[in-house]
């Protein structure tokens, strides 16, 4: 009995420690997901004579396991002009790229220091939800009077992304040697127990591992892998490639709807799950012609998207289905049939 | 009871590190020395098993990962399972039936480890993460309450593996750590070289086997003090009336 009460006491104490650490942390609680691209301008400061052009390089690094799509740079400052920059269609996980940005300062521009403001727009998808991210970036411009010796730089008409040279490959013998050393040390340890030379072998593997790992930026890569939501861990379903088909009960529910309903369907060209959601809405309209759908491309009509809560803190989330009279919105395609019917059956 | 208290502090610290992201700190470059899901909304460290799978998917030679694992292995081996790992702590809380370990069956965790790495290579996906009960508890459930995860097939699979593991833990103390944990398998390779170790003074030992009844891993510390399954929790040390067992952190060669 004494033993059992000790176990219970132990258990209780452990529970108290866990519960208190949980509650302290949860009360402080904040949850933020990192943006997936690291964007910077190099140099971050430009000196341009009035009426002339200069370039800076936009450095983009995808630090996530997700592919970033349609990366676009837009100049927000109206008093400057920028040579059109090609859209970076796809940036694969852990890839980096750079692109030259040419700016022209007009003749009548005032002299002195000023800011040039850019907006970077890109999209990515996690599971069945796709996000569009807007980030602002600024560049310090130092406008000075034109000197007579200034040579006008040749401005290329369209600038495309430049892929940096691949990092140097280490000879395969290095990882093989490290592997042999590690396995050897562990096998010997199992056999003879701990000896100083086995510890030394392991320390060599550790040193080599840290040296090479840090040299190749693998700590940064590891951080990037950790920073992005692991959909496998959470259990988020990926976007389906098949056509949806409404069930018999959903069809019956749709036929029962008497009032006309107005829906807004928010979509985007970069959204992978939107075709599935759109096909399901189309099927619903086919069965119940009282439902009218207006399709809104969030890239073309950002104001409407913002008005209906599709853009939240500069993040656009699609697919989204909005019902006007109840002011309700559905995101994603998970269990869409049930949620869509619920949305449609709700009385205003 | 000294060791028990120290271990509780260690386990609380492990849990605190596991949830430290609640303070607003983002993901760091650190690899967690245990099984703790990096998709946990409050994680600031990377899951070693999740990272290993990702590195296989991306075809990276994992220098940094190896260095971290060797560092942890050399320091304490499976000591992290007993003193630090939050999922190990959950196993501890449900350790009611300290039955004897089946030594041959305990090698199953190596199959889980190899299977995890192979599956990542064959399917170019983090297959183990889809089944991992630690992520079910630490990622799926929090995200369900946050409205990001939904009750769907992958989510139910997660709940299924979690429920099965919990039942296993209740029936067999430290069930997950004994038979299934891939991180435990990795660290157990270092158990005989690690600086933190369990020492046995054979002259003092009367072979009374009091230590065996205390061992959550179901091993016999008085005959197998350097067993690869030993999580160095020190319960046997606290339980030994003759002080034949002791915990030791030293750089000396093993006898």
What does residue A94 show for φ and ψ, rounded to 5 degrees? Answer: 65, 10
| Mutate: best of B193, B210, B235, B241, partner A, most A CBs <10 A | B193
Residues A259 and A312 in one domain: yes
Residues B98 and B132 in one domain: yes
Please, which residues 164-223 of chain A have a Cβ atom closer than 8 Å to chain B? 170, 175, 178, 182, 185-186, 189-190, 193-196, 198-199, 202-203, 205-214, 216, 218-223
State the average pLDDT over residues B84-107. 90
Q: Which residue has the higher pLDDT, A30 or A196?
A: A196
A13: in domain: no
Residues A198 and A262 in one domain: no
What 3-state DSSP class applies to B77?
coil
Residues B174, B216 contacting (CB under 8 angstroms): yes
Cα B233 from Cα B226, distance rounded (Å) = 13
* pLDDT value at residue A31: 33
A136, pLDDT greater than 80 = yes
B185, pLDDT greater than 90 = yes
Alpha-carbon radius of gyration of chain A? 29
Whether residue A208 and residue B41 make contact (CB cut-off 8 A), yes or no, is: no
CA distances from A42 to A55, A64, A138, A225 (A): 9, 22, 11, 25
B251, pLDDT greater than 80 = no
A20: in domain: no
State the average pLDDT over residues A4-16. 60
Residues A54 and A126 in one domain: yes
B253: in domain: no
Residues A195 and A96 in one domain: no
Residues B47 and B15 in one domain: yes
Residues B102 and B133 in one domain: yes
* pLDDT value at residue A37: 84
Q: pLDDT > 90: what percent of chain B?
A: 53
Nearest CA to B88 out of B169, B142, B195, B189 is that of B169
User: Facing residues of A54 across strands?
Assistant: A103
List CB contacts (< 8 A) between A207 and chain B. 67
A226, pLDDT greater than 90 = no
B175: in domain: yes
Alpha-carbon radius of gyration of chain B? 18
Q: Which two three-digit tokens encode residue A341?
A: 């019917």
CATH code at position A330: 3.40.30.10
Top-confidence range, A162-166, A299-303, B16-20, B57-61? B16-20
CATH code at position B225: 3.30.70.20
A32, pLDDT greater than 60 = no
Q: Is this prediction's ipTM beyond 0.85?
A: yes
Cα B138 from Cα B141, distance rounded (Å) = 7
Whether residue A209 and residue B64 make contact (CB cut-off 8 A), yes or no, is: yes
Structure confidence at residue A246 as a pLDDT band (50, 70, 90): confident
State the average pLDDT over residues A162-179. 69
User: Facing residues of A74 across strands?
Assistant: A119
From A104, A129, A144, the end of a domain falls on A144
Q: What is the overall mean pLDDT for chain B?
A: 89
Residues A77 and A119 in one domain: yes
Residues B32 and B96 in one domain: yes
* pLDDT value at residue B128: 95
Asked if B66 is an interface residue toward chain A (Cβ–Cβ < 8 A), one would say: yes
A49: in domain: yes
Domain interval for residue B215: 196-248
Residues B34, B90 contacting (CB under 8 angstroms): no
A16: in domain: no
A247, pLDDT greater than 70 = yes
Q: Which residue has the higher pLDDT, A293 or A130?
A: A293
A202, pLDDT greater than 90 = yes
CA distances from B54 to A93, A169, A179, A250, B120 (A): 11, 20, 19, 40, 8
The alpha carbon torsion through B56, B59, B64, B65 (nearest 10 deg) reads 10
* pLDDT value at residue A33: 42
Whether residue B152 and residue A237 make contact (CB cut-off 8 A), yes or no, is: yes
In degrees, rounded to 5, the angle at the alpha carbon of residue B156 between the alpha carbons of residues B118 and A22 is 95
* pLDDT value at residue B131: 94
Residues B175 and B230 in one domain: no
Please, which residues 89-148 of chain A have a Cβ atom closer than 8 Å to chain B? 93-94
Residues B145 and B164 in one domain: yes
CATH code at position A42: 2.60.40.10
Per DSSP, chain B holds a count of helices (H) and strands (E) of: 14, 2
* pLDDT value at residue A313: 55
pLDDT, tens digit, for every residue of B215-243? 999 999 988 878 899 999 999 998 888 88
A326: in domain: yes
Residues A48 and A79 in one domain: yes
**Residue-by-residue DSSP string for A19-42:** HHHHHHHHHH----PPPSEEEEEE
Q: Which two three-digit tokens encode residue A160?
A: 């495309």
List CB contacts (< 8 A) between B20 and chain A. 25
Domain interval for residue A206: 174-227
Residues B36, A232 contacting (CB under 8 angstroms): no
Cα B3 from Cα A323, distance rounded (Å) = 61
Residues B230 and B110 in one domain: no
Q: Which two three-digit tokens encode residue A119?
A: 């907006």
Domain count, chain B: 2
pLDDT, tens digit, for every residue of B32-46? 999 999 988 888 899
Residues A341, A263 contacting (CB under 8 angstroms): no
Domain count, chain A: 3
A59, pLDDT greater than 60 = yes
Residues B74 and B29 in one domain: yes
């Amino acid at each position: 009995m004494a033993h059992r009460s000790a176990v219970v006491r132990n258990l209780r104490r452990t529970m108290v420690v866990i519960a208190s650490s949980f509650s302290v942390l949860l009360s402080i609680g904040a949850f933020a997901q990192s943006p997936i691209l690291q964007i910077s301008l190099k140099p971050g400061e430009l000196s341009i004579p009035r009426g002339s052009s200069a370039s800076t390089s936009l450095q983009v690094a995808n630090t996530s396991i997700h592919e970033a799509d349609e990366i676009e740079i837009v100049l927000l400052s109206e008093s400057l002009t920028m040579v059109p920059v090609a859209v970076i269609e796809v940036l694969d996980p852990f890839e980096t790229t750079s692109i030259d940005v040419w700016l022209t300062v007009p003749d009548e521009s005032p002299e002195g220091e000023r800011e040039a403001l850019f907006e970077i727009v890109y999209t990515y998808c996690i599971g069945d939800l796709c996000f569009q991210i807007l980030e602002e970036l600024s560049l310090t411009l130092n406008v000075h009077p034109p000197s007579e010796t200034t040579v006008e730089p040749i401005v290329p008409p369209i600038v495309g992304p430049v892929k940096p040279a691949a990092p140097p490959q280490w000879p395969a013998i290095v990882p093989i040697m490290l592997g042999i050393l590690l396995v050897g040390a562990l096998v010997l340890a199992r056999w003879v127990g701990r000896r100083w030379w086995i510890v030394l072998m392991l320390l060599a593997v550790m040193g080599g591992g840290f040296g090479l790992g840090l040299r190749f930026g693998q700590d940064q890569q590891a951080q990037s892998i950790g920073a992005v939501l692991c959909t496998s861990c959470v259990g988020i379903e990926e976007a389906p490639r098949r056509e949806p088909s409404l069930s018999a009960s959903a069809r019956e529910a749709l036929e029962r709807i008497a009032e006309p309903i107005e829906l807004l369907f928010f979509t985007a060209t970069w959204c992978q799950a939107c075709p599935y959601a759109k096909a399901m809405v189309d099927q619903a309209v086919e069965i119940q012609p009282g439902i009218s759908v207006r399709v809104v491309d969030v890239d073309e009509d950002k104001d409407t998207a913002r008005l209906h809560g599709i853009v939240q803190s500069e993040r656009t989330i699609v697919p989204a289905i909005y019902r006007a009279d109840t002011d309700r919105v559905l995101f994603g395609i998970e269990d869409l049939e049930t949620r869509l019917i619920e949305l449609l059956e709700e009385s205003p | 009871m000294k060791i028990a208290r120290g271990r509780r502090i260690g386990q609380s610290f492990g849990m605190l590190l596991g949830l430290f992201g609640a303070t607003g700190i983002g993901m760091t470059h650190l690899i967690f020395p245990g099984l703790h899901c990096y998709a946990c909304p409050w994680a600031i460290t990377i899951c070693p098993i999740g990272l290993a799978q990702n590195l296989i998917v991306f075809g990276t030679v994992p220098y940094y990962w190896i260095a971290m694992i060797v560092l942890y292995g050399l320091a304490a081996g499976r000591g992290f399972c007993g003193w630090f790992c939050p999922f190990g702590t959950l196993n501890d809380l449900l350790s009611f039936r300290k039955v004897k370990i089946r030594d041959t069956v305990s090698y199953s965790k190596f199959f889980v480890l190899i299977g995890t790495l192979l599956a990542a290579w064959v399917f170019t996906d983090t297959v183990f993460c889809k089944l991992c009960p630690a992520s079910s508890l630490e990622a799926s459930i929090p995200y369900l309450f946050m409205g990001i995860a939904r009750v769907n097939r992958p989510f139910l699979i997660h709940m299924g593996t979690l429920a099965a593991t919990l039942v296993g833990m209740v029936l067999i103390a430290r069930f997950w750590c004994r038979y299934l944990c891939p991180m435990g398998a990795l660290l157990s390779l270092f158990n005989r070289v690690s600086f933190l170790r369990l020492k046995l003074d054979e002259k003092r030992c009367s072979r009374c086997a009091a230590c065996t009844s205390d061992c959550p891993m179901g091993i016999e510390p008085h005959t197998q003090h350097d067993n690869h399954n030993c999580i160095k929790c020190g319960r046997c040390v606290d339980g030994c009336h003759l002080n034949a067992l002791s915990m030791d952190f030293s750089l000396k060669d093993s006898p």
